[in-house]
Amino acid sequence: MKCVVLSDSLKRAVSLVERNTGKDTTLPILGSLFIQTVSGALSITATNLEIGVTTTVRSSTQQEGTIVLPARILSSFLGTIKKEEKMILEAKGNDVRVEIGEQEISIKGFPSDDFPPLPKVDVLYSLTFQRDILVKALIKSLVCVSRSN
C-alpha cells in the first residue's frame, strides 16, 4: 500500500472513527484502524465488535493494499501536525512509513487478516424521520443512558 493524502483530511477521518475503537485489552486489534487504499480513496474502518464505522478520504493511490494501525498512536502523531501538508503512507509488511514534510516515522501495525470483518448489511426495511422529531425523541431518552458499559 502506498498513497498520498492531505493531513487535515486524514486527521478528521481518524478522529471520527477512533471513537468506535474497542478498549478491550485482551483484544488489542480492536483498538486499531483498518486502512485500505482503493482507487483514489483511503478507507478507514474501526469496530468494537458491536458497532463498526467506515469513512473514506480522497487520496492519490500509487499502490493498493491494507494495513492495521493502532488508533491511539496514529491519532497522537496526527495531533502534532500543525498545518495542512501532503502525507505519504507506505506499508511494508505490518509496518507503515509515514512521511510528511521533513518528518518521517514508522508505526508498527498488525496483520490485516487479524482485523474482524464488518458484516454486509442488506437494507430490508428503512425508516424516514424528520431530523427535529428524532432529536427530540433521543433527548427525552438520554435519562436512561448509562455512562459506562
Q: Which pLDDT score is estimated for 146?
A: 74
Q: What is the pLDDT of residue 66?
A: 93
Quote the CA–CA distance of 78 and 38 in Å, as a whole number: 22
Could you tell me which residues come within 8 angstroms of residue 26 by beta carbon, excluding any fewer than 6 positions away?
none
Splitting the chain (149 residues) into consecutive groups of 10 residues, what average pLDDT does each group show? 92 91 81 91 91 92 92 91 88 91 90 88 82 92 77
Burial environment of residue 109 by CB neighbours within 10 A (0 to 12, 13 to 18, 19 or more):
buried
The pLDDT score that the predictor gives to residue 101 is 82
Please name which of 35, 5, 30 lies closest in space to residue 107, comparing C-alpha atoms: 35
pTM above 0.95, yes or no: no
